[in-house]
Chain A
Amino acid sequence: MSRALAPATELLRLDGIAQHYGKGETAVTALAGIDLTVSRGELVAIMGASGSGKSTLLTIAGGLSKPTSGEVIIEGQWLSDLPPTRIAMLRRRTLGFVFQDFNLIPALTALENVTLPLELDGWKSRKARAAGLEALASVELDDHANRYPDDLSGGQQQRVAIARAVVGTRRLILADEPTGALDSTTGELVLRMLRSRVDAGAGGILVTHDPRHAAWADRVVFLRDGRIIDQSAPAGVDTLFADAQRA
């Protein structure tokens, strides 16, 4: 593997990621050599049946677990070179997670939830507050800054989670079924927000089993048995409507 300098637009690169559990005859292969890059302004959806390795891939991409082999490179930094404290710092500064169950802290307001990673990273509270409000404004919730999660709808909570994922210098969003707990129209609104954060310069991975949600991505990657079996990018709206009119 060459360590050529990554293009400046590249946020994440996965290089030959494999993950095996157990040894010998009982060994299970969760991932079998995944290569994937995510650039700024790009949302990549990962689809596949349960057990295809989607969520494992996300936890490895986010530095939450170490792969059996292969490299995770975030903004040019090879995670295998970094001690755990530096990986934790990278997670605070660069990565944001969005989960199905929102994962907000009930005792903190929306704003405090968003600024928490900044505070942990030693930001002055006034600066953190300003960045937090900016992130909340980007998901159109700055007027709900002082509400507690219990006072927010599911869709609003998930938008707070997206704000937390992009606050300050964070720009790589890793989302695991982020609309799973939401109704159809609310889910769409959350994806619209996620999409707009990515269009504003973030990058993201969206793990989902729902084709309608995957369709918000620029690329859809299909996993089967721990391998990428196919990738699809949009064809172009003109072709599509030409087809619809011929039909």
Chain B
Amino acid sequence: MSIRQSLLAILDQGPCYGYQLRGEFDRRTGSTWPLNVGQIYNTLDRLERDGLVAKADTDSEGHVYYAITDAGHDEVTRWLDSPVIRTQATRDELAIKLAIAVTLPGVNIAEVIQVQRAASLRTLQDLTRTKNATSEPESAEELAWMLVVDSMIFAAEAEVRWLDHSETRLARASARGFAEPLPLSTSSPKRGRPVKAEPAAQAAQAGQPAPAGPLTTDAVR
């Protein structure tokens, strides 16, 4: 998770104590993912263990400051220079739900899709209203917040588009008779990774984000 690198990047601007780091993280991310102080100190402990930060001065109020080390500074540079790889480790709840639902008898999948689409669109509307309540950002903090809101907007949009796409795909599959529910299989599962997972695994090794394949990951272990 990027909290570790984010805190490190903030410490690269100068020594901070735990509570101060929390405030800095908040105002630089639009207060969207508030951290508790426990998380901050846990992270600082681990960063210290790994030699990326070191305890520095304590002020008159007893605040313990942490300062970045050279290795920590290098880690920040590395983080900023490299892309974020979204691995298959993040399971997509909705993709799984839809994939399972399509194999079950008696499920009105079009209805499942529509219920989700209406909900996703509501989210999108709310985010857009939030954005509309603000004019063009006039400070770095507002800009950071706007970037976060935009990112949520685009994620919600992608979800709605994917639902549209799934609906069409489903209609086509139904027309060709491939949208029949799956009964429980009578053959016992083989041990080991299913064959179909291999292209995804290869893509991940090559540094490519793996295509969403909720049914092929971790299926039989």
The residues of A with any CB-CB pair to B shorter than 8 Å are 49, 192, 195, 210-212, 214-217, 220, 222, 229-230, 232-237, 239-241, 244-245
The residues of B with any CB-CB pair to A shorter than 8 Å are 32-34, 114, 117-130, 132, 152-154, 156-157, 160-161, 164, 168
CB distance from A190 to the nearest CB of B (A): 13
A240 touches B114 (CB 8 A): no
* Bound: A245/B120 CA distance, A: 17
A–B Cβ pairs within 8 angstroms, 29 of them: A49-B168, A210-B157, A211-B156, A211-B161, A212-B128, A212-B154, A212-B157, A215-B124, A215-B153, A216-B132, A220-B118, A220-B121, A220-B125, A222-B114, A229-B114, A232-B119, A232-B121, A233-B122, A234-B122, A235-B122, A235-B126, A237-B126, A240-B127, A240-B130, A244-B32, A244-B33, A244-B152, A245-B32, A245-B33
SS of A interface (majority): mixed
By beta carbon, the residue of chain B nearest A232 is B118
Residue from the list A214, A236, A237, A240 in contact with B121, Cβ < 8 A:
A214
CB distance from A42 to the nearest CB of B (A): 13
By beta carbon, the residue of chain B nearest A243 is B123
CB distance from A40 to the nearest CB of B (A): 18
Chain B residues with CB under 8 A of A241: 32
* Bound: A214/B117 CA distance, A: 12
CB distance from A245 to the nearest CB of B (A): 6
* Given A232-B118, A245-B33: A240 touches B126 (CB 8 Å cut-off): yes
By beta carbon, the residue of chain A nearest B118 is A232
* Given A49-B164, A215-B153: A234 touches B132 (CB 8 Å cut-off): no
B118 touches A230 (CB 8 A): yes
* Bound: A61/B23 CA distance, A: 52
* Bound: A155/B32 CA distance, A: 31
Chain A residues with CB under 8 A of B32: 241, 244-245
* Given A195-B132, A211-B161, A244-B32: A234 touches B117 (CB 8 Å cut-off): no
Chain B residues with CB under 8 A of A210: 157
B160 touches A211 (CB 8 A): yes
* Bound: A232/B205 CA distance, A: 42
Chain A residues with CB under 8 A of B132: 192, 195, 216
CB distance from A233 to the nearest CB of B (A): 7
* Bound: A232/B33 CA distance, A: 27
CB distance from A185 to the nearest CB of B (A): 10
* Bound: A232/B121 CA distance, A: 7
By beta carbon, the residue of chain A nearest B133 is A237
Closest 5 CB pairs of A and B: A211-B160, A215-B124, A215-B128, A234-B125, A232-B118
